[in-house]
Amino acid sequence: MDFTVIRKRSEYITLIKSFFIENGYLEVDTPILTPSVIPENSIELFETKYINPIDSIEKIYFLIPSPEIWMKKLLAEGSGNIFQVSKSFRNGEQTNRHHNPEFTMLEWYTVNSNYIDSIDITEKLIRYILLKKNKKLLLTFGNTLIDFSPPFKRLSMKEAFKLYAGINLDILTDFAEGDKNINTVLRENKFDISSRHIESLSWETKFNILFLALVEPLLPKERPVILFDYPAKIPTLAQISRDPKYSERWELYLAGMETANCYTEERNPDTILSFFRNEEQKGKSRYPKRLTDWNFPSIFKNNFPKCSGVALGIDRLLMVLLNKETIDGVFPYLFFK
């Protein structure tokens, strides 16, 4: 048990909270248990039961994969800018140096803002905590000296694919010919995928194969990287960009490690309902109808504020800030190994 790390973890989380409070955000504390969820086909849930001792009725609940569902309900009620640090849980994932089924999430929503505004806030947040704690913006992680000075390096996903893989992402994201084109690129890059198997994979899965093999490993590690404008063929609750092939989404990479995810939040209730139906249909085993909050899209009908949300993995951030090579280096307890 390394109490030096535990103390530094506490100090960094306190600074994170101070930043948001000083900037007028309301700290909220939402439930870790939920009776229903936002369906996301890529996420498995931890399920538990509530047993009522009086009438012996059992009710199914789930550990939240993120506090999004609760925080957006607060936004709909007029909360204004909000943030929280909470535990989140995702089942069915490997445990490795970057992953743990239980992790600490910082999530915040800024009203009257978009995803570009949230880049600026994220840069200011990290600058704030580093200067308060370390008095400098240069830190060593492993053998890499990282310069955290704003602005961070910004690359569109289209630019990254062209720069690191020589691939024109516009062709892959074409809605009429996207699957055909991405299959061709996979074969040209010698991925060992049989014709029968390749047809069974979703476009998103095939895109991730290319991204994880050809682009992500080459992202710069000496500066934080914002990778923005993700393909709209990857279904999310991010608004579609002016170029309909892309969505208003970015991810932050620190030392080559994905650390935060941001959207300009979708507010059209019909679009959100359609997303729910599609995700529920794709993941029937994970999201039978009783798991999905079908009333949730209705909160967007009555002047839900324009906003941008960011979810940042605190444990991964602390790995970099404390120069720890594995996620268990910043956890006081780790049961999943």
Instruction: Say which amino acid occupies 81.
Output: N
Residue 50 lies in a domain: yes
Residue 292 lies in a domain: yes
Task: Report the pLDDT value the prediction gives residue 157, as an integer from 0 to 100.
Answer: 98
Task: Report the pLDDT value the prediction gives residue 221, as an integer from 0 to 100.
Answer: 97
Residue 229 lies in a domain: no
Task: Report the pLDDT value the prediction gives residue 194, as an integer from 0 to 100.
Answer: 64
Residue 279 lies in a domain: yes
pLDDT in tens, 54-95: 887 888 899 999 999 999 999 999 999 999 999 999 988 777
Residue 221 lies in a domain: no
Residue 136 lies in a domain: yes
pTM listed for this prediction: 0.94
35: containing domain = 3-147+274-329
Residue 165 lies in a domain: no
Task: Report the pLDDT value the prediction gives residue 93, as an integer from 0 to 100.
Answer: 78
Low-confidence ranges of the chain (pLDDT < 50): none
Task: Report the pLDDT value the prediction gives residue 263, as an integer from 0 to 100.
Answer: 98
Question: How many domains does the chain contain in total?
Answer: 1
pLDDT in tens, 152-175: 999 999 999 999 999 999 999 988
For residue 312, give the CATH number of its domain.
3.30.930.10
Task: Report the pLDDT value the prediction gives residue 61, as an integer from 0 to 100.
Answer: 92
Residue 211 lies in a domain: no
Task: Report the pLDDT value the prediction gives residue 15, as an integer from 0 to 100.
Answer: 98
Q: Which of 181, 157, 182 lies closest to 249, judged by CA? A: 157
Cis link prior to 305 (omega < 30° from 0)?
no
Task: Report the pLDDT value the prediction gives residue 312, as an integer from 0 to 100.
Answer: 98
